[in-house]
Amino acid sequence: MTLDESFVKALVEDYDNAPLAPADRVMLDYVGVLTRDATDVTPEHHRRLRDAGFDDRAILQITLIASWFNYINRVADALGVGRGPG
């Protein structure tokens, strides 16, 4: 969590060039693959996470949290949450 608006802007615009710690970048790369198509996640992704300092419990937590947000966003999109009438 941060209140640094310039950091948030950098993440939103292009996280590849945002000032991230290496472990955070590995985590976001993993979450990006998970979000686009979870069947593309390979043991190599998990190895990179472990090499960045994440243990199995952390990898599970990252996966569960990202998956939950993906799920709830799809539910909201399907129900038109946030869209105007019509």
Its domain, for residue 63, covers: 21-79
Residue 47: inside a domain: yes
Q: How many domains does the chain have?
A: 1
The pLDDT of residue 53: 98
- Nearest Cα neighbor of 63 from 33, 39, 31 is 31
Number of neighbouring beta carbons within 10 Å of residue 27: 21
Is 54 within a domain? yes
Assigned domain for 64 exists: yes
Residue 73 or 8, more confident: 73
The answer to the question of residue 15 being in a domain is no
pLDDT value for 1: 61
Question: Letter for the amino acid at 60?
Answer: L
pLDDT mean across residues, the chain? 92
Query: Is 33 inside a domain boundary?
Result: yes
Residues 6 or more apart whose Cβ sits within 8 Å of residue 82: 76
Query: Does any domain span residue 11?
Result: no
Q: How confident is the model at residue 86 (pLDDT cuts 50, 70, 90)?
A: low
What average pLDDT does range 61-83 have in this prediction?
A: 94
Q: What's residue 81's pLDDT? A: 92
